[in-house]
Amino acid sequence: MAYHDALFPTDISYGSVGGPGFSTSLITTDSGVTEAVARWSRPRRRYDVAYGLRTYAQVVSVRDHYTARLGPANTFPFKAPLDYTTDPDATPQMFQDGSTPASTDVLLGVGDGTTTDYQLRQAFASGSQTVYAPITKPDVGTVLVSIDDTPQGSGWTVNAITGIVTFTTPPAVGEIVKAGCEFFVPVRYAEEMDLYLPLSADDFSSGSIRSITLVEDIDGSTIAEDFIYRGGGRRQFSADLTIVSAEGCAFELVPAGAGLSVIVEAAADRESGGPHYFLWNNSADSLTLKGGATTIGTLAAGDTTTLVIFIVSGAKAWKALTG
């Protein structure tokens, strides 16, 4: 699987329907009480683009785009009409001048004096709740960055493939990092379409495709699910060990000697809550736990801990629930 930088035709995407969805299990007890178990901490988007087709030429362009991607085998950028910018006051993408991103649109994190990398993200705010989704495919020319609400015209770069903003000098302790931009949603053609693309020519000037579904491609390191379903493994190591959520979240740790550290993602890069990791130190030596460059605490020999993310003074922070 690869990412193809081949934008889905925007004249067709403007007429698409779709949006965010979640994986949630609803369990109803004998007493009639319903419990909801949220499997995902961020949405996954899905679109049907067949509604945007009007001409035979558009049908041909989708046929060629689908074939060049080898069906669902490879991912590509999609500009959604209602989900393409961090600007909370934007109008739909099919209208001209619909978006004006600002450098203060979305909180990326709080400086700690050492962290230089901050993930671009989109905020979904309603009432007192805010859900974030990482932006991995920004429209680079639209990215704006601020520190303590002061626009930063230089001193940083942005990766077009990961959406990570990297500062030349790390923001100081307590400095608020924000950003805004327009972006693309990385998608693939849905699996149910891998046998054929149902095409038709209605007449000499028009055409249609009965149904064509695009599904957002999500990096496993950016979405947290209930840890019991995500696996893990045994890790033996003689140097500092870095683990990421894409590898799982339940780990037996076997260090070869004292003074070693286990490093997980910085708290700013994960959603609040959890549990995100369950760790067991199956050795005779204590371990130092770190989130990025920040020390979380110590995991004593033989102990276990569950790592969750609290909100402390408005910022995310790892908490080790040991025992």
Q: Give the per-residue pLDDT at 195.
A: 43
Scanning the structure block, which residue is given the tokens 């979305």? 106
Q: Could you tell me the CA-to-CA distances from 22 to 82, 99, 200, 223, 225 in Å, in that order?
A: 18, 26, 33, 11, 11
Local structure of residue 284 (DSSP, 8 states): S
Within 8 A by CB and 6+ apart from 32, the residues are none
Q: Which two tokens stand for residue 182?
A: 């327009």
CA angle, residues 228, 234, 238, in degrees to nearest 5: 140
The pLDDT score that the predictor gives to residue 233 is 83
Measured CA to CA, the distance from residue 199 to residue 60 in angstroms comes to 9
d(CA 172, CA 188): 39
Residue 1: C-alpha distances to residues 8, 191, 198, 221, 307 (Å): 17, 14, 24, 17, 32
85 burial (CB, 10 Å; 0-12 / 13-18 / 19+) is buried
Parallel/antiparallel/unpaired status of strands 315-322 and 304-312: antiparallel
pLDDT in the model for residue 133: 87
Residues 220/222/228/232 CA torsion (nearest 10 deg)? 60
pLDDT tens digits in sequence order for the chain, 323 residues long:
689 999 999 888 887 888 888 877 777 777 777 777 666 777 888 998 887 777 778 888 888 999 999 988 899 999 988 888 999 887 765 555 578 899 999 999 999 999 999 999 999 888 888 888 899 999 999 999 999 999 999 999 999 999 999 999 999 999 999 999 999 999 999 866 544 555 555 554 555 566 788 999 886 444 444 444 456 788 999 999 998 877 778 899 999 989 999 999 998 888 777 788 899 999 999 999 999 999 999 999 999 999 988 887 778 899 998 75
Q: What gap in Å lies between CA 206 and CA 202, rounded to an integer?
A: 6
pLDDT at residue 55, rounded to an integer: 79
β-pairing, 164-167 vs 156-158, is: antiparallel
- Residue 117 pLDDT: 94
3-state secondary structure of 125: strand
